[in-house]
Chains A and B, each alone.
Chain A
Amino acid sequence: MAGSPDPGRSRLESIFSPQSVAVVGATRVPGTVPYDIFHNILKDDFQGTLYPVSPSAKSIAGVKAYKYILDIPDPVDLAVIVFPSSVVKLAMEQCGQKGVKGVIIISAGFREVGPAGVQREQEIKDIAQKYGMSFIGPNCLGVINTDPNVHLNASFARRMPAEGSIGFLSQSGALCTAVLDYAHAKNIGFSKFVSFGNKADISDIDLMLSLKDDPATKVILMYLEELTHGAAFVDAARQVIHEAGKPVLVLKSGRTSQGASAAASHTGSLAASDEIVDAAFRQAGVIRCQTIEEMFNNAIALAYQPLPRGRRVAIITNAGGPGVLTTDAAIHERLELAAFSDRTRDVFKRSLPVTANIKNPVDVIGDARADRYRVALGSALEDENVDGALVILTPQSMTDIDTIAEEVCNVAAAYDKPTYCSFMGETDVASGIGILQRRSIPHYVLPESMCRAFARAHDFSIEKDRRLTPAVRFSDVDTAAARQLLDAAIASGRTYLTPSDAMKVLEAYRLPVLRSAVAQTAAEAESVAAQLGFPVAMKVESDDIVHKFDVGAVVLGIETPAAAAAAYATILANVKAHQPEARVQGVFVQRMAGAGDEVILGVKRDPAFGAVVMFGLGGLFVEIFRDVAFRIAPIPLEHIRDMMHEVKASPILTGARGRPHRDTAAVEECLQRLSQLVVDCPQIQELDINPLIVRTQGDGCAVTDARILVSGAGHAP
């Protein structure tokens, strides 16, 4: 079913590789979807048997038509339904009776049009379930399989793409046609090309997992508009990347963050949906792309060439300026200019003109012909200090562009290292670029794109082999106590836990909560403060006051019993003055944390991804710079460390510019315990630990304030 991690491989077999196809609802009118679908399958040389099913036509394009699919005498593997939505259920019913296993429903007019469409979609899902049929769509462009043994273009795209090793899955049908046109111009082929529309049955996740095991597919590209089963998507992507070693590149639209402003906590407002998607993709190893161009720039690098084993590149150019541009771009992408071995330098000295620059970037000089490129590229790739080559060409009058392109392809093919090219220009270099593209050398209009693609390919080569330790499960936690506090708050109709209860929940998971107590009188505040030990902080305990600082209900640095009594009176007076209607349960007295840097830890429960954990430095860094990182719980230690490094201000914790090195190991443990808490307690909707004071290395950290927002919707596992 949609969104489940069920691989659905066999379910997709009849859709991707049918022996026989019926187009149900075909017509004789060219230029209509029902005709074009049939005609595309016919003209693009489908290797199986094709049947038109039409209530009104005796034949279509010279092929005998059947009134009903039930009239076809032979078995049918795949039905492509092109009827209007109002009668798709009738067609589905007959497909079921016929024993069809796979269906593509092209027709629109379902979930995307409102309640009536939702009902129609449910009806076809019910029929599919009754007969054990699987279907793609509705509301889609169709499916293309370029495998020469199948060669199925069951779509209304204008053209069948060339065979290739890229699998493309799209939620948008219209984008598919644009992508096909773009790819055609760049000689990019595909293994499978699927528009999955409303994904009422077969989901994006099913399709991704089917391409994981598809030998023809080396790289998976996806265009997504929504991620309804985010956690399952992340699991599936992780399987594809880490088990099959295939990269997954996603162009995800809808980057805006409605609803973030309505969130109740810091974490809620910072964890906009798109930032969570970013974090989830990073956690899974998915390469997120911002544009179609970026997606294909990365895809051709990953699909055509060996993965770089390191970041050391050799730049070979016939032009100084572009060589410098490429160097800048390479450094920007954290690539390194390879230091050539003595042997390589000797070859360059012997083979290149004296005016040539034999350091990296290697300038073979503007009048270079194919022989110089051959020597320079071959020697560079031979060098063990080089992980890949970036070849630049500008078209001078004597530049034999096509021959150079052929030589680059020949040399590159002899090495298990990547070679990418940028033949700069447009008209004069077009033929040479065509040679490179047809022979699977990635070509880039701009050196910047080339360097970015190299960097992403290297990132992927590391990611695919990365082995993560499972998230730690601490055994010293008291889950029952935490759940009891949360359930009690829900039962009493609270949205937030009281500060003292929030601290108790964290204490149950052994987070380093500062000692505290609630005082009901000034005298009690005096004695409680004395018991906790000075200095103490005091703040009002009230469900009705969220921003306690704003109403003067917080006093810090209280050093004496008398000051504690005075603070008690001040806090109550300020509350009465600023928020007289607030219900007050007492004054919360807490031992002060001592010196350290402030960080914020948080949780937000996302409907698609589940519990999302946040880390950031406190104060301005969170409020103004939104300098925070997210991960989906449970979080392996490696990703906890990654998220701490992702925060730009993190060097503040690690001794930057003579500052004390803070106890980052203690923060890691807090994040691990927090991750376990939110996995164990689905009642927690949002949580802020703000601030967590991080002391000097070895001295740990301290939770000084926490807010927990609960909801009874979740159930403990």
Chain B
Amino acid sequence: MDRSEIQKRVTSVVAGVLGIDPAEVLPASNFVFDLGADSMKSVELVAGFEEEFDIEMDADKAREVQTVEGAVDFIADYLK
């Protein structure tokens, strides 16, 4: 899967879980500071990514990911 596809699907998961317009989800957006993800939403995001990409993420490392761009990189590593 190429990076732009990952980006597109990450944006879709984020917008769906957080209930926001996909246009607001920018690569540099911080999940907490810019998009308002609280701790519950962060758990839902991880679950959403795992389902979307059919991967199982390391929960501790996933918690360290702060931005949309970071999530794309993190997921791309799993898909290699």
Interface residues of A in 260-297 (CB under 8 A from B): none
Bound complex: CA of A67 vs CA of B34, how far in Å? Answer: 8
Q: Given A86-B66, A87-B66 in contact, is the A55-B33 Cβ separation under 8 Å?
A: yes
- Contacting pair B36 A55 (CB below 8 A): yes
Does the CB pair B18–A90 fall under 8 Å?
no
Known: A86-B66, A87-B66. A56 touches B33 (CB 8 A): no
Interface residue A493 (Cβ < 8 Å from any Cβ of B):
no
Which residues of chain B in 32-46 are interfacial with respect to chain A, using CB atoms and an 8 Å cutoff? 32-36, 38-39
Also in contact, A57 and B36, with CB within 8 A (given A86-B66, A87-B66): yes
Chain A residues, Cβ within 8 Å of B30: 87, 90
Residues of chain A with a CB closer than 8 A to B33's CB: 55, 83, 87, 90-91
Complex Cα spacing A86 to B38, Å: 12
Q: Determine chain A's interface SS by DSSP, over half rule.
A: loop
Interface size class of B (residues with CB under 8 A): 10 to 19
**Distance in angstroms between the alpha carbons of A86 and B34 in the assembled complex:** 13
Distance from B60 Cβ to chain A, minimum over Cβ atoms (Å): 12
A54 at interface, CB cutoff 8 A: yes
Would A55 and B34 count as touching, CB distance under 8 A?
Answer: yes
- Closest beta carbon of chain B to A159's beta carbon, Å: 26
Proximity bits, A540-571, B CB within 8 Å = 1, else 0:
00000000000000000000000000000000
Q: Mark A33-70, 1 if CB is under 8 A from B, else 0.
A: 00000000000000000000011110000000001000
Min C-beta distance of B56 to chain A, whole Å:
23
| Cα–Cα, bound, A67→B20 (Å) | 13
Contacts of A90 in B (CB 8 A): 30, 33
Closest to A24 in B: B33
Residues on the A chain within 8 Å of B36, using CB: 27, 54-57
Residue in chain B with minimal CB distance to A27? B38
Task: Give the chain B neighbours of A91 by CB distance below 8 A.
Answer: 33
Alpha-carbon distance between A83 and B36 when the two chains are bound, in angstroms: 10
A651 within 8 A of B: no
What per-residue 1/0 map shows which CB atoms of B5-47 lie under 8 Å from chain A?
Answer: 0000000000000101000000000101111101100000000
Which residues of chain B come closer than 8 Å to A27, judged between CB atoms? 36, 38
Shortest CB–CB separation between residue A167 and chain B, in angstroms? 34
| A84 contacts the other chain (CB 8 A) | yes
Complex interface: chain B residues within 8 A of A29 (CB)? 38
* Contact A55-B66, Cβ < 8 Å, known A87-B30, A90-B30: no
Tell me, rounded to whole Å, the shortest Cβ–Cβ distance linking A34 to chain B.
Answer: 9
> A83–B38 contact, CB under 8 A?
no
A86-B32, A90-B30, A90-B33 given; A56·B18 CB < 8 A: yes
10 nearest A-B residue pairs (beta carbon): A56-B36, A55-B36, A87-B33, A90-B33, A87-B32, A55-B34, A84-B32, A55-B35, A87-B30, A90-B30
7 extra A-B contacts, CB within 8 A, seeds A54-B36, A55-B34, A56-B18: A27-B36, A84-B32, A86-B66, A87-B30, A87-B33, A87-B66, A91-B33
* 17 A–B contacts, CB within 8 A, in A order: A27-B38, A29-B38, A55-B32, A55-B34, A55-B35, A55-B36, A56-B35, A57-B36, A83-B32, A84-B39, A86-B32, A87-B30, A87-B32, A87-B33, A87-B66, A90-B30, A90-B33
